[in-house]
Structure 1
Amino acid sequence: MKYQFRLSCLLLAALLSACSSAPKQKAVQQPQTQIMPVEPIETELSANDYLEKAKQANPDRRNLYLFKAAEMWLQQQQCDKSIKLVDILRPELYVPLDISQANLIEAECLFDMGFFEQSNDLTQTITGQMGLNKRLYLLKAKLLEHQLNWIEAANAWQKVSNYDQNANQHIWPLLKKLSLNQLEQAESKYPSLDAWLELTIITRKYSADAYRMAQALSVWKNRYPNHPAINSMPSDLDKALHTDKYQPQTVAVLLPLSGRLQLQGEALKQGILAAYFEHENARPEVSFIDSNLMTESDMTAIATQYDFIVGPLEKDRIEELLKKVPADKPVLALNRINTGHMIPTQNASTDTPQPSQHYYFALAPEDEANQLVEHLLDKGYQHPVVISSANKSMQRMLSTFVQTWQQQTQYTPNSVTFESSGSMRSGIANLLEVNQSRSRIRQIENLYPNEVHAFYRNRQDVDAIVVFANAEETELLVPIIEASISPFSEVIPVYGSSRSYTQVLSNNSLRDLRNLTFIDMPWMLPNHPWQQLKHTFTRLWPAHTDSLQRLFAMGYDAYSVIPHLKHMAILPELRVNGLTGQISLDDNDILHQRFAMGKVEQEQVIRVEMD
Structure 2
Amino acid sequence: MIKTKWLPYAYLSLLILIMQGCTTPTTVDTPEDKDKPPVSTDGRELTEIEKLLLQAEASTPIEKTEYTLQAAERLFEEKEYEQANILLDNINPLMLSVLREQQLWLLRARIANAQFQPQLSLDWLSKLTQTDILPLEQQIIRTELEVTNRNLLGDSSNALNLLIEQSAMASDEQRPQLNETIWRLLKSIGTETLASLQNNPDNSYLQQGWYDLAVESRTAGTDILQSSQALLDWQQLWTLHPAATALPTELMQILQQQAQPAGHIAVLLPQSGKLEKPSKAIIEGFLAAYYQNQRLGHPTPRLSFYDSERFTNLSEFYPTAEAQGVELVIGPLDKNKLTDLTRLESVSIPTLALNYSQENSTTLNLFQFGLRGEDEARQAAQKAWKDGHRTALSLTADTSWGQRNHQAFADEWKNLGGTVLAHQSFTGENDFSEKISRVLSVEQSEARYQELRRYVKGKVEFETRRRQDVDFLFLSALAKDARQIKPTLAFHYAAKLPVYATSHVYTGAPAPEIDQDLNDILFCDIPWILNADDSLRSGLELHRNNTQSRFGKLYALGADVYRISAYLNQLQTMEGSYLNGESGRLSINPDGRVVRSLDWAQFRNGLPERLSK
**Residues 497-541 of structure 1: per-residue CA shift (max 9 Å, x gap):** 0122213686664133222221111222362433xx434434423
Amino acid at match of 1:500: V
Matching residue within 444, 458, 465 for 1:457:
465
1:521 aligned to which of 521, 526, 531: 526
Which of the pair has more CA radius of gyration? 2
**Hey, what does 1:432 align to over in structure 2?**
440
2: CA distance between counterparts of 1:267 and 1:423? 35
Q: 1:205 to 1:403 in 2, by over 3 A?
A: closer
Q: Offset of 1:559 from its aligned partner? A: 0.8
CA contact (8 A) 2:471 2:497 kept: yes
Counterpart position of 2:581:
578
Instruction: Indicate if the aligned counterparts of 2:526 and 2:583 stay in contact, CA closer than 8 A.
Output: yes
**Equivalences for residues 395-544 of structure 1 within 5 A:** 395-408=403-416, 410-421=417-428, 424-445=432-453, 451-485=459-493, 491-503=496-508, 509-525=514-530, 527-530=532-535, 533-542=536-545
Q: Is the 8 A contact 1:245 1:565 kept in 2?
A: no
Corresponding residue to 2:317 among 273, 298, 306: 298
Shift of 1:186: 7.5
Contact 1:340–1:588 (Cα < 8 Å) also in 2: yes
Q: CA deviation at 1:550?
A: 0.9
Q: 1:267 to 1:426 in 2, by over 3 A?
A: same
Q: Which residue of 2 aligns with 1:349?
A: none
Aligned to 2:30: none
Tell me how large the CA RMSD over aligned residues is: 4.8
Find the counterpart in structure 2 of residue 216 from structure 1: 234
Provide closer, same or farther for how the CA distance between residues 175 and 555 of structure 1 changes in structure 2, counting only shifts above 3 A. farther
The alpha-carbon deviation at position 277 of structure 1 amounts to 1.6
State the AA in 2 paired with 1:259: G
Determine the C-alpha separation between the residues in 1 that align with 2:224 and 2:289.
20
Q: Report if aligned partners of 1:300, 1:325 keep a CA contact under 8 Å in 2.
A: no
Q: Which residue of 1 aligns with 2:269?
A: 255
User: Is residue 314–residue 335 contact of structure 1 (8 Å, CA) maintained in 2?
Assistant: yes
Q: What is the deviation of 1:334?
A: 1.0
Query: By how many angstroms is 1:205 displaced?
Result: 6.2
Matches within 5 A, 1:145-224: 187-188=194-195, 199=217, 204=222, 207=225, 213-214=231-232, 216=234
Unpaired runs of 5+ in structure 1? 1-33, 51-70, 77-107, 109-122, 134-154, 177-181, 346-355
TM-score w.r.t. length of structure 1:
0.63
Q: Partners in 2 of 1:247 and 1:367 — Cα distance?
A: 28
Alignment check: 8 A CA contact 1:519 1:595 kept? yes
Task: Give me the whole-angstrom Cα distance separating, in 1, the residues matched to 2:510 and 2:435.
Answer: 25
Partner of 2:303: 286
Q: Taking every aligned residue pair, what percent have the same amino acid on both sides?
A: 20
Deviation at 1:406, TM superposition (A): 2.5
Conservation of the 8 A alpha-carbon contact between 2:227 and 2:254: no
Aligned partner letter, 1:369: A
Instruction: Return closer, same or farther for 1:200/1:583 CA change in 2, 3 Å cut-off.
Output: same
Cα offset, 1:271, TM superposition: 0.9
Per-residue deviation, 1:129: 7.8
CA distance in 2, matches of 1:325, 1:573: 27
Task: Tell me if the contact between 2:285 and 2:555 (Cα under 8 Å) persists in the aligned partners.
Answer: yes
Q: Deviations along 1:531-564, whole A, 9 cap, x unmatched?
A: xx43443442336783320111111111122233
| Separation of aligned partners in 2, 1:210 and 1:463 | 42
- Native 8 Å contact 1:315 1:337 kept in 2: yes
Kindly provide the CA deviation profile for residues 260-305 of structure 1, in whole angstroms up to 9, marking residues without a partner as x.
1111111111111211221113222222221111254333212442
Q: CA deviation at 1:484?
A: 1.6
Partner of 1:179 in structure 2? none
How far apart, in 2, do the equivalents of 1:520 and 1:328 lie?
35
**Is the counterpart of residue 366 in structure 1 residue 358 in structure 2?**
no
Report if aligned partners of 1:250, 1:285 keep a CA contact under 8 Å in 2. yes
Residue 549 (structure 2) pairs with residue 546 (structure 1): yes
Q: Name the structure 2 match of 1:16.
A: none
**Structure 2 match to 1:271:** 285
Name the counterpart of 1:332: 352
Q: Judge conservation of contact 2:503–2:525 (CA < 8 Å) in 1.
A: yes
Counterpart secondary structure, 1:610: coil
Alignment of 1:8-27 (within 5 A): none
Find the partner of 1:241 among 255, 274, 290: 255
Give the match for residue 311 of structure 1.
331
Secondary structure of 1:577's aligned partner: strand
Q: Which amino acid aligns with 1:268?
A: I
Letter paired with 1:461: D
CA distance in 2 between counterparts of 1:605 and 1:589 reads 36
Task: Return the alpha-carbon distance in structure 2 between the equivalents of residues 187 and 440 of structure 1.
Answer: 61
Instruction: Return closer, same or farther for 1:601/1:288 CA change in 2, 3 Å cut-off.
Output: same
Q: What secondary structure sits across from 2:374 in the alignment?
A: helix
Deviation (angstroms), 1:257: 1.6
1:592: how far off? 1.9
Normalised to the residue count of structure 2, the TM-score between the two structures is 0.62
User: Does the 8 A contact of 1:299 with 1:321 survive in 2?
Assistant: no
Kindly indicate whether the alpha-carbon contact (under 8 Å) linking 1:221 and 1:230 is maintained by their aligned counterparts in 2: no
Which residue does the alignment assign to 2:55?
none
Aligned to 1:562: 565
Q: Secondary structure at the match of 2:437?
A: helix
Q: Give the match's secondary structure for 1:387.
A: strand
Against the structure 1 CA distance between its residues 221 and 599, is the aligned structure 2 distance closer, same or farther, given a 3 Å change threshold?
same
Alpha-carbon separation, structure 2, partners of 1:170 and 1:481: 56
Residue 379, structure 1, aligned to residue 411, structure 2: no
One-letter amino acid matched to 1:298: F
Matching residue of 1:600: 603
The change in CA–CA distance for 1:416 and 1:567 in structure 2 (over 3 A counts) is same
**In 1: Cα distance, 2:450 partner to 2:150 partner:** 63
**How far apart in 2 are the matches of 1:585 and 1:480?**
40
CA distance, structure 2, for counterparts of residue 405 and residue 333 of structure 1:
28
Between the aligned partners of 2:383 and 2:185, the Cα distance in structure 1 is 23
SS in 2 for 1:329: strand
Question: What is the alpha-carbon distance in structure 2 between the residues aligned to residue 585 and residue 474 of structure 1?
Answer: 33
Cα distance, 1:441 vs. partner? Answer: 2.8
- Closer, same or farther in 2 for the Cα pair 1:44/1:580, shift >3 Å? farther
AA partner of residue 425 (structure 2):
F
Does the 8 Å CA contact 1:598/1:605 hold for their aligned counterparts? Answer: no
Q: What letter matches 2:329 in structure 1?
A: I
Q: Give the number of equivalent residue pairs.
A: 462
